[in-house]
């Protein structure tokens, strides 16, 4: 897997995942919506740690800066 996510993109995804986790913890979101958002949060964290997003590959997006 070639990295296709930059630092800013990874940071934003982690912040969003933490926000969803906080909303769930404080019972702001519940039910099916909570589980769907938590699933997206887990995906965001996983893709941030490996710096690779499969959807970016399909769409041809690359936010990772290339080192010369």
Q: Alpha-carbon torsion 30, 42, 53, 4, what sign? A: positive
Q: Is residue 24 pLDDT above 60, yes or no? A: yes
Q: Is residue 68 pLDDT above 60, yes or no? A: no
**Measured between alpha carbons, how far is 36 from 24 in angstroms, rounded to an integer?**
11
Higher per-residue pLDDT: 26 or 65:
26
Mean pLDDT of the chain: 93
């Amino acid at each position: 897997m070639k990295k296709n996510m930059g630092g800013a993109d990874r940071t934003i995804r982690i912040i969003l995942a933490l926000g969803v986790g906080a909303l769930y913890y404080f019972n702001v979101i519940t039910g099916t919506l909570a589980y769907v958002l938590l699933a997206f949060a887990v995906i965001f964290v996983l893709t941030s740690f490996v710096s690779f997003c499969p959807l970016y590959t399909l769409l041809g997006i690359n936010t990772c800066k290339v080192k010369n």
